[in-house]
C-alpha cells in the first residue's frame, strides 16, 4: 500500500469512528466537535488529573468552586461557590455554595460533595497528581500521611469541613495564591454519593489510612465520572473519548454542540488530512511550520495567532537514573552511562550549549519567539529580562565535555537514550537537533531517541528511569511560584524525579514563597534564575506565542475569549463553542 492510500485509509477510519460514536449518541456530524491529538488520555478522575490531555476533558465534565473570569489570569469569578469571605489573617475561608445544581448521576450537589472532594485530594495526594499544592495550603506540607507523619485525620477534617451548607477551609498560614489554586480542575467537585457507590474511598476515618497515596489513574471514578459540568461521559477506550451535552446542566450558557469526540491519532499526516477534509475540527498540528506550509490559507481553515503563552518547558537531566532505566551498559565506556552521569554540572553544561535555539525557533516556531533564561513565562512577575539566556556554542559545549568526569567523558564517550512523547513532532525535532549537535562534537558520543506514550512518561514510577525527557509545565494557578517550585525546588514536582537537590536554590525559593513583597520576590527569583543557569539544570526551550488552527465553521474562538489557564487549545470551554 502506498503512502497516499495509507493516509486515505487512516482518514476513513477516523471518520468511521466519528460517525459511529455520533450514531451511538443519537446525534449527527453537524452537532459533533471532533478533536484529534497524538497523546492518550491517562485519566478522567479530577483527583489525579495533572496533564493537559486529561485536563481538557475533565475541565468540561467537572467544575470547581471558583474559576477565571473571561481571559483574565488574575480575576476570579463564582462557579459552584456563589460567594466567599476570608478572615483578616487570610487563614479561614467560608464558601456559600450554589443551589439547584445536579451531578450527571442525577444526585444533588451539596457541601458534603465539596468536603469529600477536598478531603479525598488530601488523603490520596501522590506525585502523579497536583494535590501537593492544595495540601501545602491546607495542611502546611506537600506530602501525604505516608511521607509526613504530622498529617493526621484530625488535621484533614479541621482543614476542610461543612458548617451546614457553608464550606469552611482553614489554612495554617496565609497563602496569597489559595483562591487561584481552587480554580485548578484537580479541585473539580466530585459526586460523593456516586463515587462511594462505585468503590471509591468512603470518606470516613475508619478507612482513610488505607486510601493514603492511592494510585487513582485507573480509579473507578476515572471510568465512571460524575461531575456538574456541561458535558457527561458516553464512552472511553484506548483511542477515543466521547462525551455528550448534559441536559441537566445548571449554567446559563447551555452547550450548543451536542457531542464532542477526542481521538488519539498518532500520525501527524493523518490528523492534517482529516482536518483539511473537515473530518476533524481541531487537531494537534505539529508546530508552526506545519501550520504555515500545510494549513494556513486552505479552504475552511482559521488560524488564531500571537496569543499569550503561559507554559514553560525544557529538557531535564536525571542526576541518578534508577536501575533498569536508560543506562545501557551502566558505565562510562562508550556503550552507556553511569546512573549519576548528569550529576556532573559540566555534562549538563555540554548538553545546554549544544542545543541550537535559533535553529529550533526557525524550524519549529516559524521564526517567532525568543530564547528564555528561566523556566518561567516571561509574562509572569519574577522573570528578569536583563539576564542573558544560554547560547548555542559548540566550542563551549566541547570544553564542558572535556572537563566532565575529570576528562573521562571526552576520552571514553557515552551512549544515552532520551525520550519524547510519541506523535509530538516538535519534541522529536528538538531532540533530533540536540542529537545531531552532540554527536558532531565527538564520534564517541551517541544519542538514541525513543518515542514513548504520554501516560508512560508522566507516571512517577517511570520517571526515575528516564535519562532525559521534555519537562513541560502549564500553570495550575497564576503565580510564579507554581513554576519556580515545580522546576527548581528539591521538593517540587520535578526535583524528586530528577534527583536534583540544590540547598541554595531551596533557600531562595523558600524565602520567595514566604513574602508578599513583590519587589523582594522579583529579586529572589532573579537570583534563582542566575544560579539555575550556571548549574545548567535544564536545556531551556525558547518561548513562542500560542497559535492554533480550527475549522472556520466553529464559532466562539477569539483573542477576547482565550484564556491560557484552560487546557483546551481554544482557551475556552466546549460549552462556549458552536458549529454552523
pLDDT of residue 546: 87
For residues 92-111, average pLDDT: 98
Among 363, 538, 553, 426, residue whose Cα is nearest residue 37: 426
Grid cell in block for residue 453: 506514550
Looking at residue 185, which CATH number applies to its domain? 3.90.76.10
Same domain? 471 vs 332: yes
Of 22-36, 430-444, 457-471, the range with the lowest mean pLDDT is 22-36
Whether the predicted pLDDT of 2 surpasses 50: no
- 419 near 497, Cβ under 8 Å? no
The reply to whether 551 falls in a domain is yes
Same domain? 286 vs 195: no
The reply to whether 197 falls in a domain is yes
Same domain? 292 vs 176: no
Under the banding of pLDDT at 50, 70 and 90, the label for residue 7 is: very low
- 416 near 448, Cβ under 8 Å? yes
pLDDT of residue 15: 45
What percent of the chain clears pLDDT 70, i.e. is strictly above it?
Answer: 95
* pLDDT tens track for 149-186: 999 999 999 999 999 999 999 999 988 889 989 999 99
pLDDT of residue 9: 43
Task: Reduce the DSSP state of residue 2 to 3 states and report it.
Answer: coil
Range with top average pLDDT, 167-181, 391-405, 538-552:
391-405
Look up the domain containing 185 and give its range: 52-219
pLDDT of residue 303: 95
Whether the predicted pLDDT of 390 surpasses 90: yes
pLDDT of residue 3: 30
Cα distance between residue 376 and residue 382, in whole Å: 8
Q: What is the DSSP string of 86-146?
A: E-TTS-EEEEEEPSS-B-TTSPBP-HHHHHHHHHHHHHH--TTSSHHHHHHHHHS-SS-TT
Domain boundary among 187, 219, 251: 219
Read off the DSSP letter of residue 255.
Answer: -
Whether the predicted pLDDT of 454 surpasses 80: no
Same domain? 338 vs 397: yes
For residues 422-450, average pLDDT: 94
Whether the predicted pLDDT of 465 surpasses 50: yes
Same domain? 385 vs 304: no
The reply to whether 424 falls in a domain is yes
Looking at residue 369, which CATH number applies to its domain? 3.10.105.10
pLDDT of residue 233: 98
Same domain? 64 vs 184: yes
Whether the predicted pLDDT of 126 surpasses 50: yes
The reply to whether 46 falls in a domain is no
Task: Reduce the DSSP state of residue 84 to 3 states and report it.
Answer: strand
Looking at residue 560, which CATH number applies to its domain? 3.40.190.10
* pLDDT tens track for 311-324: 999 999 999 999 88
The reply to whether 198 falls in a domain is yes
Same domain? 246 vs 116: no
pLDDT of residue 25: 47
Under the banding of pLDDT at 50, 70 and 90, the label for residue 513 is: confident
Backbone angles phi, psi at 108, to 5 degrees: -80, 140
Q: Pairing relation of β-strands 312-317 and 160-163?
A: unpaired
The reply to whether 15 falls in a domain is yes
Model confidence, pTM: 0.76
Under the banding of pLDDT at 50, 70 and 90, the label for residue 30 is: low
Cα distance between residue 5 and residue 150, in whole Å: 62
Whether the predicted pLDDT of 28 surpasses 60: no
Same domain? 193 vs 272: no
Task: Reduce the DSSP state of residue 35 to 3 states and report it.
Answer: strand
Under the banding of pLDDT at 50, 70 and 90, the label for residue 460 is: low
The reply to whether 227 falls in a domain is no
Helix or strand holding residue 37 (H, E): strand 32-37
Domain boundary among 164, 184, 219: 219
Of 17-31, 97-111, 393-407, the range with the lowest mean pLDDT is 17-31
Same domain? 484 vs 559: no
Kindly give the residue spans of alpha helices, DSSP state H, lying in 125-173: 131-139, 153-159
Helix, strand, coil distribution of the chain in percent, nearest 5: 35, 20, 45
pLDDT of residue 286: 82
The reply to whether 245 falls in a domain is yes
Same domain? 419 vs 561: no
CB proximity list for 249: less than 8 A, separation 6 or greater: 228, 229, 230, 255, 575
Same domain? 324 vs 345: yes
Same domain? 435 vs 331: yes
Whether the predicted pLDDT of 572 surpasses 90: yes
Whether the predicted pLDDT of 308 surpasses 90: no
Whether the predicted pLDDT of 391 surpasses 50: yes
Strand partners, 555: 578
Cα distance between residue 105 and residue 225, in whole Å: 9
Please give the tally of structural domains in the chain.
3
Amino acid at each position: 500500500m502506498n503512502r497516499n492510500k495509507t493516509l486515505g485509509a487512516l482518514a476513513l477510519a477516523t471518520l468511521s469512528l466519528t460517525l459511529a460514536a455520533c450514531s451511538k449518541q443519537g446525534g449527527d456530524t453537524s452537532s459533533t466537535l471532533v478533536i484529534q491529538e497524538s497523546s492518550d488520555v491517562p485519566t478522567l478522575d479530577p483527583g489525579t488529573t495533572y496533564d493537559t490531555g486529561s485536563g481538557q476533558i475533565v475541565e468540561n465534565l467537572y467544575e470547581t468552586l471558583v474559576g477565571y473570569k473571561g481571559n483574565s489570569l488574575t480575576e476570579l469569578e463564582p462557579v459552584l461557590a456563589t460567594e466567599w469571605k476570608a478572615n483578616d489573617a487570610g487563614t479561614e475561608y467560608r464558601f456559600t455554595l450554589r443551589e439547584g445544581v445536579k451531578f450527571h448521576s442525577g444526585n444533588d450537589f451539596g457541601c458534603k460533595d465539596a468536603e469529600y472532594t477536598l478531603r479525598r485530594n488530601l488523603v490520596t495526594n501522590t506525585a502523579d497528581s497536583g494535590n501537593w499544592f492544595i495540601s501545602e495550603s491546607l495542611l502546611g506540607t506537600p506530602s501525604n500521611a505516608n511521607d509526613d507523619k504530622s498529617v493526621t485525620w484530625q488535621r484533614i477534617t479541621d482543614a476542610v469541613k461543612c458548617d451546614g451548607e457553608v464550606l469552611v477551609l482553614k489554612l495554617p498560614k496565609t497563602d496569597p495564591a489559595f483562591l487561584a489554586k481552587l480554580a485548578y480542575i484537580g479541585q473539580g467537585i466530585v459526586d460523593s454519593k456516586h463515587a462511594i457507590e462505585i468503590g471509591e474511598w468512603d470518606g470516613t476515618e475508619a478507612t482513610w489510612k488505607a486510601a493514603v497515596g492511592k494510585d487513582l489513574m485507573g480509579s473507578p471514578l476515572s471510568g465512571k465520572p460524575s461531575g456538574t459540568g456541561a458535558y457527561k461521559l458516553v464512552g472511553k477506550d484506548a483511542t477515543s473519548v466521547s462525551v455528550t451535552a448534559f441536559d441537566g446542566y445548571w449554567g446559563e450558557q447551555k452547550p450548543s454542540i451536542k457531542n464532542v469526540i477526542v481521538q488519539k491519532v498518532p500520525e501527524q499526516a493523518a490528523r492534517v488530512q482529516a482536518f483539511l477534509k473537515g473530518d476533524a475540527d481541531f487537531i494537534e498540528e505539529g508546530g508552526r511550520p506545519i501550520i504555515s506550509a500545510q494549513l494556513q490559507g486552505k479552504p475552511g481553515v482559521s488560524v488564531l495567532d500571537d496569543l499569550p503563552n503561559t507554559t514553560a518547558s525544557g529538557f531535564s537531566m536525571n542526576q541518578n537514573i534508577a536501575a533498569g532505566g536508560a543506562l545501557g551498559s551502566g558505565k562510562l565506556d562508550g556503550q552507556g552511562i553511569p546512573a549519576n552521569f548528569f550529576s556532573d554540572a559540566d555534562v549538563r553544561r555540554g548538553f545546554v550549549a549544544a542545543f541550537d535555539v535559533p535553529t529550533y525557533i526557525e524550524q519549529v516556531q516559524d521564526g517567532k519567539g525568543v530564547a528564555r533564561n528561566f523556566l518561567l513565562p516571561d509574562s509572569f512577575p519574577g522573570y528578569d529580562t536583563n539576564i542573558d539566556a544560554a547560547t548555542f556554542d559548540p566550542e563551549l559545549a566541547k570544553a564542558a565535555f572535556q572537563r566532565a568526569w575529570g576528562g573521562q567523558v571526552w576520552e571514553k564517550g557515552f551512549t544515552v537514550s532520551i525520550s519524547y512523547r510519541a506523535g509530538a513532532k516538535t519534541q522529536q525535532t528538538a531532540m533530533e537537533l540536540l542529537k545531531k549537535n552532540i554527536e558532531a562534537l565527538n564520534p564517541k558520543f551517541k544519542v538514541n531517541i525513543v518515542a514513548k506514550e504520554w501516560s508512560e512518561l508522566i507516571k512517577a514510577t517511570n520517571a526515575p528511569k528516564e535519562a532525559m525527557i521534555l519537562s513541560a509545565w502549564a500553570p495550575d494557578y497564576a503565580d510564579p511560584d507554581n513554576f519556580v517550585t515545580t522546576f527548581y525546588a528539591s521538593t517540587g514536582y520535578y526535583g524528586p524525579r530528577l534527583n536534583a537537590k540544590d540547598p541554595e536554590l531551596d533557600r531562595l525559593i523558600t524565602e520567595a514563597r514566604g513574602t508578599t513583597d513583590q519587589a523582594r520576590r522579583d529579586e529572589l527569583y532573579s537570583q534563582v534564575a542566575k544560579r539555575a543557569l550556571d548549574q545548567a539544570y535544564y536545556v531551556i526551550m525558547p518561548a513562542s506565542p500560542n497559535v492554533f488552527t480550527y475549522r472556520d465553521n466553529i464559532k466562539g474562538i477569539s483573542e477576547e475569549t482565550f484564556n491560557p489557564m484552560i487546557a483546551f487549545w481554544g482557551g475556552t470551554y466546549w460549552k462556549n463553542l458552536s458549529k454552523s
